[in-house]
Amino acid sequence: MVSLSGLLDVLAFWRRRKAPLHFGVLFKTFRTILERNNRILEQMGDMGDKLGGEYVFDRQYIVSACETLGDQVFKLISDLSVLARNKNDGLFAVFANIQHEIHEELAGRHAMPEVSLVLDLDKLSSDLFESAGNKLAVLGDVRNVLGMETPDGFVVTAKAFMDFMAQNGLPELIETRLKAWDGEDEAVFSELCHDVREQILGGKIPKPLRNAVNAALDKLARRNGRGELHMALRSSAWGEDSESSFAGQYETVLNVTPDNFFTAYRTVLASAYSEMAWRYRLHRGYREHEMVMPVGCQLMVEAAVSGGLYTLAPVGQEREVMVVNAAWGLGAPVVDGTGEADTFILGRSSPYPVHSAEIAHKAKAMILSSASGTAYEDVPEARRDVQSLTPEQLERLAQAAMTLERFYKRPQDVEWAFTRDGTLNILQSRPLNMRSRLPEFAPCPEEATRDAEVVFQGRGTVVQRGVAVGRVFVVHGHEDLDEFPYGAILVSRYTSPRFAKVMRKAQGIITDVGSPTGHMATIAREYRVPTVVGTGMATKLLKTGEEITLDASTNAVYRGALGELCRYELTEVDVFEDAYEYRLLRRVLRRITPLHLHDPHAASFNPAECRTYHDITRFVHERSVEELIGLSERGENFSDATPRHLVTKLPLGLTVIDIEDGLAPLDPEADATSEDVTSIPLRALLEGLTASDMWSTEPAPVDLKSFMSSFTRTTAAAAATDRSERNLAVVSRSYMNLNLRLGYHFTLIDAFITPEINDNYIYFRFLGGVTDMARRSRRAKCIGDILESTDFRVEVRGDLVVGRVKKLAKKRMVERMMLLGGLIGYTRQLDVHMDCDEDITRHAACFCERIEALLEEHRERREWRTG
């Protein structure tokens, strides 16, 4: 009769053999990838820190940093090609495109993304600010992210502007005339402005642009059920409504019809070259290649009342209030200061009480002209001295404005309009310039915190400075992000790149564990979200719903809302943002730091979706770990492997291959013992596995039906591995890849543990058993529950369990390996005892009690050794 062991040996010959690999070489490549990954993230962090205004830098720093970064990213891709045997070569082409755009930007040339000549407002977001300009990109966020009402429309993109300018020979004209100007002769400059404007006003519209706009107009009319369109054409130039406001510098043309669209379009473009606008740019340090003018086209709103709003009061007002100006009809006379308007002072907190109201005598109102353009009409006598906004409208307006401030994390200057049916439209939102404030109105941070209750301070590492006030929202798992509210402070045990999903919503971020050079830290700097990582205690001290103030400038968390501290942060002057070097760094970082690949399990996690160096870096990091795990899962053979039998007090039958400092020096023919193991992951695993109360040596009762039902499945799975490879550990000082078959179940563990938190990970996979599927599934569920309670991200399907944990500190990773060792021993024959679902909870609790006692003993020994 053929034994089971013999049968498995025979079946092993069915396995297709593969060419041997040099695992030592592959592992060194993997380690190099991790080292490069950290250097790249550190460089990104350094470049991001420069945007904070605390460091002086020049253009040469930007050029040098980009060259260093590009070199490291290219080598990172090359390393992955070695590890993955050229499976991801498409990354080289993606890298080349990104690098080309960065080089073009550094050379002072336009590096425009491939976009259409026209983009619908429904498709816009801040990610498209280069194509749509900042003003329209912001409206895209307001409409598509915040879900607020804005007038429908589209943007004629930056590419359209450049095509128009090129067709009419304007870049050459401007360059030639500027070179001839000495920078002082006013008459020469005036003539230049006049000639450029005339050339634009008489310029020819490129045929592709004309066709694209006409198609967009037809689409806009059909979408809104209008036979005749009346539109507003607004400038959306680079830099406008961002670091510099450009307020009033560029033209807006109201009540435009399709027949005069291109005349109005040229008028907006020409306004960029008025003496006033051009001189404004020169005084602000803008280079000529930074003059790019997308133009927004939106349906006119037949406003009943409209105006402007400051979310933080201007000079001379009391603190913690907002200011609303409003008048009948269109809001242009209100925002440009030529018309009489009501003034309301409101509180900044719900329900936004009205502190005062000054009602103006409003004799005239701007309205749409019947043909095109605008006109003034007399306001009926009975309405001239009537309050233009109701209390309900004021509250709605204030609520919307504070949502915008929380979203953009800066005080906002908002233009708005209520239509006759009561709909609130946001027409524009831009950062409020706080530099005109008088010093005596700037609050003192020391006074603001003197009597505040400190939750904790000086814990962890500051990633992004700033102050955040909001309610705590504790994120336990990635699914919680779907419920994350606007204006909350995200508190989590660990950092995750998936937090990018809520970066725009979050006022601040606090984590127990995390690295200031990790992926999430890079994203937090990009979005300028006040962030502190590695506090060790945030999730223990902070509960969902409680209001706190995070001061990430002094690294302190206070109980309650400290409005004065927040106000100090909002009024702090950022003069450095006007510098050309700052704008240049910000533009190149748009091709470096944004992360679009958040979920490594999503179909979109592939080279084609990489749009930045950060995307490439994350993709390579995730795929390199998968490749290393895959070497074992595929049962690869390693030609440089020297096997050594490991003798333990348990019948593991384990062979160890040491690729680098994983075992102490031994005689060539000698077996290794547990004391010879210097591999951090394997040593920790063995400590948990061989603990006295984790491993049962008594035979488990198995009924024949259960045995036979699983025989064919386990036989086929076991046969996939040669006898010499069934229980195999490939180790180094910091690494372990373990294939372990105990009875009828199989365990794979791939782990890397070092002092560098960003490199650390553990991958665990468990499958099999000798009983029926119901009992095996209960054991799998028990294992999954235990892992989920100890930081693992877990997937359970039938009797298969996959667990992943990464980016924990070294001592925590060691404890997780001890836990896995104990779990392997404890659950080795557990499936035969899983008679009902209640056994899942009972055994999970029993194991957790035992492993916690073991870990506590381990911690005491560690403290004794280091004390």
- pLDDT tens-digit series, residues 659-670: 888 999 888 778
pLDDT in tens, 269-320: 999 998 888 888 887 778 888 889 999 999 998 899 999 999 988 654 556 7
pLDDT of 16 over the 60 cut: no
Which contiguous run of DSSP H or E holds residue 303? strand 303-310
Rounded mean pLDDT of 559-575? 69
pLDDT of 572 over the 60 cut: no
pLDDT at 434 (0 to 100): 60
pLDDT of 632 over the 70 cut: no
Environment class of 60 (CB within 10 Å of its CB; exposed 0-12, middle 13-18, buried 19+): exposed
Confidence of residue 740 (pLDDT cuts 50, 70, 90): confident
Give yes or no for a cis peptide into 206 (omega within 30° of 0).
no
Max CA pair span of the chain: 110
Q: Enter the CATH code of domain 303-419.
A: 3.30.470.20
Identify which of 507-511, 654-658, 712-716 has the greatest average pLDDT. Answer: 507-511
pLDDT at 67 (0 to 100): 95
| Tokens encoding 834 | 């899983």
Confidence of residue 681 (pLDDT cuts 50, 70, 90): very high
pLDDT at 298 (0 to 100): 94
Environment class of 430 (CB within 10 Å of its CB; exposed 0-12, middle 13-18, buried 19+): buried
Range of lowest pLDDT (36-45, 289-298, 414-423, 604-613): 36-45
Environment class of 313 (CB within 10 Å of its CB; exposed 0-12, middle 13-18, buried 19+): buried
pLDDT of 43 over the 70 cut: yes
How many angstroms separate the CA atoms of 168 and 229, rounded?
29
Range of lowest pLDDT (262-276, 484-498, 638-652): 638-652
Measured CA distances, 554 to 19, 56, 530, 573, 597 (Å)? 58, 21, 11, 18, 32
Q: Residue 764 in contact with residue 787, Cβ under 8 Å?
A: yes
pLDDT at 410 (0 to 100): 84
CB atoms within 10 A of CB 711: 14
Three-class SS string for 399-435? Answer: HHHHHHHHHHCCCEEEEEEEECCCCEEEEEEEECCCC
How many angstroms separate the CA atoms of 649 and 690, rounded?
8
Which amino acid is located at 767 in the chain?
Answer: L
pLDDT of 574 over the 80 cut: no
- Closest Cα to residue 130, out of 97, 161, 163, 168? 161
Range of lowest pLDDT (176-180, 326-330, 436-440): 436-440
pLDDT at 570 (0 to 100): 63
Rounded mean pLDDT of 370-374? 76
Percent of the chain's residues with pLDDT above 70: 86
Q: Residue 286 in contact with residue 393, Cβ under 8 Å?
A: no
pLDDT in tens, 797-845: 888 899 999 888 899 999 999 999 999 988 887 877 788 888 888 989 9
Rounded mean pLDDT of 333-339? 80
pLDDT at 720 (0 to 100): 37
Range of lowest pLDDT (407-416, 417-426, 445-454, 579-588): 445-454
pLDDT of 541 over the 70 cut: yes
Alpha helices in 145-180 (DSSP H): 158-167, 170-180
CB atoms within 10 A of CB 664: 12
How many angstroms separate the CA atoms of 428 and 853, rounded?
60
pLDDT at 253 (0 to 100): 92
**Architecture of the domain spanning 453-561:** 3-Layer(bba) Sandwich (3.50)
| Tokens encoding 7 | 């049968």
Return phi, psi of residue 234, to 5°: -120, 145
pLDDT at 571 (0 to 100): 55
Environment class of 863 (CB within 10 Å of its CB; exposed 0-12, middle 13-18, buried 19+): exposed
Q: Are strands 761-768 and 303-310 parallel, antiparallel or unpaired?
A: unpaired
How many angstroms separate the CA atoms of 862 and 811, rounded?
10
Confidence of residue 100 (pLDDT cuts 50, 70, 90): very high
How many angstroms separate the CA atoms of 317 and 311, rounded?
12
How many angstroms separate the CA atoms of 755 and 173, rounded?
59
Alpha helices in 489-600 (DSSP H): 519-527, 538-541, 563-571, 580-589
- Helices 391-408 & 129-144, crossing angle to 10 degrees? 130
Class of domain 118-299: alpha beta
Confidence of residue 54 (pLDDT cuts 50, 70, 90): low
pLDDT at 653 (0 to 100): 85
CB atoms within 10 A of CB 864: 8
Percent of the chain's residues with pLDDT above 90: 40
Confidence of residue 5 (pLDDT cuts 50, 70, 90): very low
How many angstroms separate the CA atoms of 503 and 222, rounded?
35
Q: Residue 616 in contact with residue 608, Cβ under 8 Å?
A: no
Determine if the pTM surpasses 0.85. no
**CA end-to-end span of the chain:** 61
Q: Are strands 118-120 and 461-464 parallel, antiparallel or unpaired?
A: unpaired
What does 39-57 look like in DSSP terms, one character per residue? HHHHHHHHHHHHTTTSS--
Q: Is 436 helix (H, G, I), strand (E, B) or coil?
A: coil
- Closest Cα to residue 638, out of 19, 21, 29? 21
Return phi, psi of residue 120, to 5°: -65, 145
Confidence of residue 10 (pLDDT cuts 50, 70, 90): very low
Q: Is 762 helix (H, G, I), strand (E, B) or coil?
A: strand
The residue that leads in pLDDT, 653 or 861, is 653
How many angstroms separate the CA atoms of 551 and 91, rounded?
40
pLDDT at 243 (0 to 100): 56
| Tokens encoding 493 | 């045990």
* b/e sequence 730-740, b meaning 16+ C-beta within 10 Å: bbbbbbbbbbb
pLDDT at 110 (0 to 100): 74
pLDDT of 568 over the 70 cut: no
* b/e sequence 157-189, b meaning 16+ C-beta within 10 Å: bbbbbbbbbeebebeeebeebeeeeeeeeeeeb
- Closest Cα to residue 394, out of 448, 329, 326, 441? 326
pLDDT at 706 (0 to 100): 45
Torsion, CA 182, CA 183, CA 188, CA 193, rounded to 10: 140
Mean pLDDT of the chain: 83
Which amino acid is located at 622 in the chain?
Answer: E
Confidence of residue 652 (pLDDT cuts 50, 70, 90): confident
The rounded radius of gyration (Å) of the Cα atoms in the chain is 33
Which amino acid is located at 845 in the chain?
Answer: A
Show Cβ contacts of residue 251 under 8 Å, excluding neighbours closer than 6 positions: 235, 267, 268, 270, 271
Distance of CA 767 to the CA centre of its chain: 35
- Residue reference for tokens 């993955």: 84
Return phi, psi of residue 244, to 5°: -115, 140
Rounded mean pLDDT of 55-77? 91
